[in-house]
Amino acid sequence: MKAYHTRITGAVLFLFLALQVASCWNPFSPQQDKPEKIRPLAPNTPENVLSNLVLAYRQRDIELYLDCLADDFEFYLLDEDWADFDGDGETDQFWGLALEEQFTRNMFEQAWRIELDDFRGTQSITDPSDPSGKSKILKRSFTLRVWETEESVDPLPAQGEATFTLRPNEQGIWKIVKWVDESEV
Ligand SMILES: [Ca+2]
């Protein structure tokens, strides 16, 4: 599990697995450390959507989080993180929106404290694989810290790089269609 602790994937998965077996968890615990609500930005640029993604983490707002993701969203894992996440007996190199929602909802609902710094980086290029020429690829680095419980002295740190592909719809609303974990191992 050690490698898991260095990346966003790991923090999410570790919490998901650890809390699945924690039978004493109280879903109505008022002790979670939640910040005040801030309004999200209009999702009319790729950069605004990534800002909203960070805000969703900070506010544990699963609805805002899902608003940032396209219906055909895919999260691609590092090779060493490949595993059978959906239990069909086949190793998965990525997962889709349903598992992303499950893992993230679990973390938002159960972690004691979540801190995600602003993404670092400004690169934005046109996605050469999109025949419409509209999709953009943004590479960013991030630092996430997750405390599992109030008693957790040290957070589960996740630092790394991610490449996001975003696509606008006909109304000019941007969503993330692909998130590739590019973290150094
Ligand atoms: Ca599978």
- Highest-pLDDT range among 26-30, 77-81, 93-97: 93-97
Instruction: Give the model's confidence band at 155: pLDDT under 50 very low, under 70 low, under 90 confident, else very high.
Output: confident
DSSP secondary structure code for residue 35 in this structure: P
Rounded to two decimals, the pTM is: 0.82
Burial grade of 157 (CB within 10 A; 0-12, 13-18, 19 or more): middle
Distance 89 CA to ligand 1 centre (A): 5
pLDDT tens column, 36-51: 789 999 999 999 999 9
Is CATH 3.10.450.50 the classification given to domain 2-19+42-181?
A: yes
Distance 175 CA to ligand 1 centre (A): 25
Give pLDDT, residue 8. Answer: 57
Distance 95 CA to ligand 1 centre (A): 9
The overall average pLDDT reported for the chain is 85
> Domain limits of the chain?
2-19+42-181
- What are the backbone dihedrals phi and psi of residue 69, each rounded to the nearest 5 degrees, phi first? -110, 140
Residue 162 has pLDDT above 90, yes or no: yes
Q: Please identify every residue whose CB atom is under 5 Å from ligand 1, which is an ion.
A: 84, 86, 88, 90, 92
Give pLDDT, residue 3. Answer: 33
d(CA 1, CA 8): 13
Which amino acid would we find at residue 23? S
Give pLDDT, residue 6. Answer: 40
- Is the distance from CB of 45 to CB of 174 less than 8 angstroms? yes
- Is the distance from CB of 161 to CB of 183 less than 8 angstroms? yes
Distance 96 CA to ligand 1 centre (A): 11
Distance 97 CA to ligand 1 centre (A): 14
Distance 92 CA to ligand 1 centre (A): 5
Distance 147 CA to ligand 1 centre (A): 28
**Residue from 29, 114, 99 nearest 66 by CA:** 99
pLDDT tens column, 10-27: 556 655 555 554 444 445
Residue 62 has pLDDT above 50, yes or no: yes
Give pLDDT, residue 149. Answer: 84
Give pLDDT, residue 35. Answer: 63
